[in-house]
Amino acid sequence: MIRHLQRMHLRRLNTLLGHLRMAYSSSASEGVLLETINNKGVITLNRPKALNSLNLAMIRAIYPKLKEWDADPSTSLVIIKAAGDKAFCAGGDIKAVTESGKRGDRLAKEFFYEEYILNHKIATMRKPYIALVNGISMGGGVGLSAHGRYRVATEKTLFAMPETGIGLFPDVGGGYVLPRMRGQLGVFLALTGFRLKGRDVHHAGYATHFIESKQIPELEKALLDLKQPTSDVVDDVISQFHNQCQLDTDKPFILEDQEEHIDRLFAADTMEDICHSLQGDGSEWATKQLEILRKMSPTSLKITLRQLREGARLDIEDDLQMEYRMSQGCIRGHDFYEGVRALLVDKDGSPRWIPATLEEVTPEIVDDHFRPVQNDLNLK
């Protein structure tokens, strides 16, 4: 009788453990799916109701798998895509980060630290890394795609780095990527949060290729069916889809008429000088940009401009270290919390920045965002 009860208890315990294992597996797969298909790695961001926003659990699932695939001789390439057709990844889970920062929890440090390590891994992948960016790509989504060898956009792609409007800065390697766009285009996009859509994303340089969204499944199948996917072969396949796409080929770049003005008016090394140039220009377009900048966090504008000027001279490792220090400066400050409150929590759209003006943001405040921190990020 006792043995019978022991066996029943053991069976129930095994059943319970099985349920727990299933629950853990299901929970891990809700945010991201990781598959190996025909010796190719496939990452699917799988939070479509949350616009596939990136959280720490997803980062912790993707990073070790990328390391494994990159080291595995049998894995020939990696594809990253997203569930749904509205968003590739609309950013990181910044609400959770700011809530953690208010409590003094580890998440506010760990999220940025581990996200930037993932960004670095993507930037240094030896295997072809192909991002199928079909939908919104902002913030964390840019970090998951912009550092890859191939970034395929569609007519549904929307690219933006709107962080100055929430008291942050264009992180995830934005300090490396944006200054390498032609002229002052990246500086303009970073400071104003201007949104690019469709083929304009390719014109700007964020995307390497452009195809119609309906061709995404066909391109993915062509890549997964490759027998010997060398870099040249992968390039040929993606370029063939790109070259065959005639959608919006005759449409000029949305900022084509303004690029000369952007290069001239956003060339200064201080925000005060940029605003002075815009005000002095006096055109309708320049006046509109000045109005947009006045809505942004003055602290974010100043640290972002310095980030991009310094990032233009840095390699990806030093840039991400700089950005980690900046992220912790924002966690110590006021505007990041206030921007998230105004945009995502209360949604009143009226953030109260402190300091409230560019003139009040002293060099000491800016410098504080760039100083070394405890347990600094070192990728070398």
- Residues with a known catalytic role: 92, 140, 163, 171
Specify which residues 47 forms β-bridges with: none
Q: Write the CA distances from 139 to 116, 169, 184, 217, integer angstroms.
A: 12, 9, 20, 25
Structure tokens that stand for 367 in this block: 């410098």
Specify which residues 82 forms β-bridges with: 45
> How much helix, strand and coil, in percent to the nearest 5, is found in the chain?
55, 10, 35
Say how many residues make up the chain. 380
Residue 317: burial class (beta carbons within 10 Å; 0-12, 13-18, 19+): middle
Q: Are the C-beta atoms of residues 330 and 167 closer than 8 Å to each other?
A: yes
Among residues 194, 198, 207, the alpha carbon closest in space to that of 239 is found at: 207
Q: Are the C-beta atoms of residues 286 and 139 closer than 8 Å to each other?
A: no
Q: Are the C-beta atoms of residues 203 and 253 closer than 8 Å to each other?
A: yes
Structure tokens that stand for 311 in this block: 């990032």
DSSP 82: E
Q: Are the C-beta atoms of residues 196 and 137 closer than 8 Å to each other?
A: no
Structure tokens that stand for 198 in this block: 């469709």
CA Rg value for the chain:
23
User: How far is the C-alpha of 123 from the C-alpha of 143, rounded, in Å?
Assistant: 9
Q: Are the C-beta atoms of residues 162 and 207 closer than 8 Å to each other?
A: no
Among residues 219, 92, 91, the alpha carbon closest in space to that of 154 is found at: 219
CB hemisphere CA count around 311 (13 angstroms) = 31
- Measured in degrees and rounded to the nearest 5, phi and psi for residue 85 equal -120, 15
